[in-house]
Chains A and B, each alone.
Chain A
Amino acid sequence: MLTYIIRRVLLIIPNIILLTVLLFWGVSGLLGSPAGMMLGEDASPAAIAELNARYGFDRPIYEQYLSWMWNALQGDFGRSFTTQQRVSEAILPRIPVSLELAGFAILLAMLGATILNSIPFARRFLSTFNTGASVIGITVPNFMLGISLIYVLSVKLHWLPTSGWVNWSDDPGEHIRRLIMPMITLSAFYFGSFTLVYRAEYRAVYRQLFIKVARAKGLPEWKVSFKHALPNSILPVITYIGLSLGQLTGGAVVTETVFSVPGIGRLFVQSITSHDFPVMLAISMIIIIGVVAMNLLADILYTVVNPQIRLN
């Protein structure tokens, strides 16, 4: 087991290095001179040269990459072009916000999909509703769902504030009120895909012998469903969560932008539209490394949970 984990971790490292090289080369090669972008088109060549020398843009690209990587490994991602703030200081406080939103969204989707599809009578009556809701969840884009929620719940009914964020430490009630709509928006897609994945497995499990045994010994139907069928059908959903983490960051970017949530995704969009190269690079790297690491973690967890698939 340990050797398996070590080998997987070692295999990931070249991938991460390759990705960071591609990203760095792509961003700096294709975006053109950062100095030209920062100073505008009318900048004098002398000013551009001075700025290039100050930020080190005049060095060969591999040298820039190595020094960037060396600093990044020590936690120094440089300074933002637009605000001159340290990139690490701009990003760090935003990470918990994004993680909280994403975590609650995944949890909501998972609970919703497994519970709604396990209620015994749901198989007959709720089935059409669940199918409809999951197709809507998969096909309605986050921004459309978010804006519709804002229109109905905030503009028309005045139940919830339209957008923005309040810290838990400042006002817990308000924090939760502002979390509701982004959480629903982000979880919709996952509710849909989890429902499809879970239901397929659940139906297969329900045809197995131990379900018949559970019924034969007189267990009520809901106990058969929740105690025997549910735990045995949840594994594919867990695998699916691992596979969909990449997708999740994309959804989070859109959702955070719609609801003005001060998370890492919104900062990412801002850095892209304002050509803030260091922030954009740092967030891309964090997202890429995070997603690759989480995928690995999901793989390892899967082998721990299910000893049948210990690959050699």
Chain B
Amino acid sequence: MNSVRLVGISVIFTVIALAIFASFLATHDPNKSSIDFLQGASTAHWFGTDDLGRDIYSRVLFGARTSLSVGIGAAIVATLLGVPIGIAAGYLGGKVDVLVVQVIDLFIALPGLVLALIITAMVGPTLINLMFILGFVMWPTIARLVRGQALGIRESVFVEAAKALGGRSSWIIWAHIWPNLLRIVAAQFAITVSFAIFTSASLSFLGLGVPPPAPDWGGMVRTGFDFLSITPLVSLAPGGAVAFTVFGFYLVGSTIE
């Protein structure tokens, strides 16, 4: 086991554990405001409080739930769209391939964040919408990768043998193509999660995130930005959490490849 990947895996497990046990680990109610607003780090408020007197540490913990759901949800949507389309194009070839490559090229050229901004402005930023929007923005990368791999595997001797023995396409895809794609899909899944969390945090920083009062890292950074000279932790703590999580998923994804 690669040591860099081990670091990534421990980061991911830490974040997931924090999200699951947020209600036990939190010291305060994340949405309860108090009169102690904009305080620095103290024993009562580990990361201080925000402009409404809410505890930053507890909000960061609960924010992990939002970020992870959006990130993992988006990666699932992107994989469910990208893998079948990629296999269809790479394995079947012909007209399907030409069409799919056209569509992929068209989408890959487009700026993901800008596209996500436009679509989010149209349909509104709810948790479910964000998953589908980011998944929709990110599927072409997965499809392109899978297509390239499937194209290579199709030419290999074991596929030829399976064909010669009379195997149907559906069987060959299931038994020969898919197992050989698993590794690269897993790597790309982790990378997609990291960029989905990155992009959704950017969206909420720009004002198109999950609506309040749900704690959401990008939105917290945005509020804290105004109070940077008073208590920097209001925005630096959630911002650091985004970077930490993205870093973990990115490390795992890039070392599997």
A258 to B218 CA separation, bound complex (whole angstroms) = 13
B57 in contact (CB, < 8 A): no
Q: Which residues of B contact A147 (CB under 8 A)?
A: 221, 225, 228, 235-236, 239
Cβ proximity bits B55-95 to A, threshold 8 Å, 1 near / 0 not: 00000000000000000000000000000000000000000
Q: Which residues of chain B are near A112, meaning CB under 8 Å?
A: none
Give Cα distance in the complex from A246 to B242, angstroms: 22
Note all chain B residues with C-beta closer than 8 A to A233. Answer: none
Quick check: A254 and B205 within 8 Å, CB to CB?
yes
**Nearest CB of chain B from residue A172's CB, rounded to whole Å:** 28
Chain B hits for A19, CB < 8 A: 106, 110
The answer to whether A150 and B114 touch across the interface, beta carbons within 8 angstroms, is: no
A71 at the interface (CB under 8 A from B): no
- Structural contact, B207 and A273, CB atoms closer than 8 A: yes
Nearest-CB residue, chain A, relative to B244: A139
Chain B CB within 8 A of A202 CB:
no
User: Residue on A with the closest CB to B249?
Assistant: A139
State whether B229 touches A254 (Cβ < 8 A). no
CA A257 – CA B218 in complex, angstroms?
13
What separation, in Å, do the CA atoms of A155 and B230 have in the docked complex? 10
Question: How far, in angstroms, from A23 to B239 measured CA to CA in the complex?
Answer: 32
Interface: A117 (CB within 8 A) = no
| Residue on A nearest B198 in the bound complex, by CB | A141
Q: Is the CB of A31 within 8 A of B122?
A: yes
Count of chain A residues with Cβ under 8 Å from any Cβ of B?
44
Query: Are B228 and A150 neighbours in the complex by a CB distance under 8 Å?
Result: yes
A268 touching B243, Cβ below 8 Å: no
- Across the interface, B111 reaches (CB within 8 A) one of A140, A143, A246, namely A246
A253 touches B240 (CB 8 A): no
Give complex CA distance A175, B114 in Å: 27
Other-chain contact of B246, A141, A253, A273, A288 (Cβ < 8 Å): A141
Q: Is the CB of A269 within 8 A of B117?
A: yes
Q: Which of B208, B239, B247, B251 has the most CB of A within 10 A?
A: B239
Q: Is B161 an interface residue (CB 8 A)?
A: no
Tell me the B181-240 residues at the A interface (CB within 8 Å): 194, 198-199, 201-202, 205-208, 218, 221, 225, 228-229, 232, 235-236, 239-240
A250 partner residues in chain B, CB cutoff 8 A = 111-114, 199, 202
Nearest chain-B residue to A265 (Cβ)? B114
Q: Is B47 an interface residue (CB 8 A)?
A: no
Contacts of B44 in A (CB 8 A): none
Known: A142-B202, A144-B243, A254-B205. A26 touches B122 (CB 8 A): yes
Asked if B250 is at the interface of the complex by the 8 Å CB criterion, the answer is: yes
Q: Determine if B157 is an interface residue (Cβ-Cβ < 8 Å).
A: no
- B250 CB contacts on chain A under 8 angstroms: 135, 138-139
CB of A155 within 8 A of CB of B202, answer no
Instruction: Report A145-163 CB contacts with B as 1/0, cut-off 8 Å.
Output: 0011011000100000000
B118 within 8 A of A: yes
- B240 interface neighbour in A26, A27, A144, Cβ under 8 Å: A144
A150 to B229 CA separation, bound complex (whole angstroms): 10
Give the chain A neighbours of B243 by CB distance below 8 A: 139-141, 144
In the bound complex, what is the Cα–Cα distance between A135 and B118 (angstroms)? 29
A261-287 Cβ-contact flags toward B at 8 Å (1 or 0): 000000011001101000010001001
Q: Do the beta carbons of B239 and A144 come within 8 Å of each other?
A: yes
Tell me the bound Cα distance from A280 to B114 in angstroms: 11
* A240: min CB distance to chain B, Å: 13
Structural contact, A292 and B207, CB atoms closer than 8 A? no
Taking a contact as CB atoms under 8 Å apart, the answer to whether B206 and A269 are in contact is yes
Taking the complex as formed, is A181 at the interface, i.e. its CB lies under 8 A from any CB of chain B?
A: no
Please name 6 pairs of A and B residues whose Cβ atoms are closer than 8 Å in the assembled complex, sorted by A: A30-B122, A31-B121, A139-B246, A248-B111, A257-B205, A291-B110
* Nearest 6 A/B pairs, CB to CB: A250-B113, A144-B239, A30-B122, A246-B111, A139-B247, A249-B111
